[in-house]
Amino acid sequence: MARIAVLVGPEFEDSELTVPVARLTDAGHEVELLGVEAGRELIGKQRKTKVQVNAAVSDRRPEDYDALVIPGGNSPEHLRTDEGVVDFVRAFGSIGRPIAAICHGPQLLIEADLVRGRRMTSWPSVRTELRNAGAEVVDEEVVQDGAFITSRMPADLEAFSRGLLDRLEHREGRSIGQAVQSRPS
């Protein structure tokens, strides 16, 4: 099964962390929460979820993971100011493995200069940032473009999670389940 890195910082959107992590672990994948500081306890924006960061990005290599998940909330805004996190995301983008970002998650992709020429979606207030960074922005439940999987909001979590799981199944050589909109890289 796959090993998945989930980037998490202060005030992550609770459901955008818990739902994909649950779907991934239920499917047998290994999930590791990465952040700025190993062992740091973080509380979700809705104050419903408390998590502990498993490892600092500075102690991990992108090549050790099969996919990267970036939940939204205020977490991406906090994480985009950390050079180590941005470098990790940029390096992950260079190896071509799946990166799934929801809501405000694409802010980290913008900071890592990974969105130019890509078709993506996000929370409405991030769309201008995406456009200004060179992305083609659409308002759809889930969008796949090359290695990137993006969604808009918590209401899209099932489609977002399914898109990531389908991509992982395809990567592992199994048949793809329900199709989602996609464009080759």
What digits encode the pLDDT tens for the residues 113-148? 999 999 999 999 999 999 999 999 999 999 999 999
Cα separation of 120 and 112, whole Å?
15
Share of the chain above pLDDT 90, in %: 91
3-state secondary structure of 172: coil
Q: Which amino acid is at 117?
A: G
Locate 38 and state its tokens. 């190993």
CA angle 75, 150, 136 (to 5 degrees): 110
**Which residue range(s) make up the domain with 46?**
3-183
Domains held by the chain: number: 1
Does the annotation mark 103 as catalytic?
yes
Q: Do the beta carbons of residue 29 and residue 1 sit within 8 Å?
A: yes
3-state secondary structure of 96: coil
Pick the catalytic residue: 70, 102, 103, 143?
103
Q: How far is CA 9 from the centre of its chain?
A: 12
| pTM of the model as a whole | 0.91
Cα separation of 107 and 154, whole Å?
16
Residues contacting 173, CB < 8 A, separation 6+: none
Query: In this predicted structure, what is the pLDDT of residue 184?
Result: 38
Share of the chain above pLDDT 70, in %: 92
129: domain CATH number is 3.40.50.880
Q: Do the beta carbons of residue 20 and residue 157 sit within 8 Å?
A: yes
Q: How confident is the prediction for the chain on average, in pLDDT?
A: 92
Please count the CA atoms within 13 angstroms of the CA of 48 that sit on its side-chain side: 8
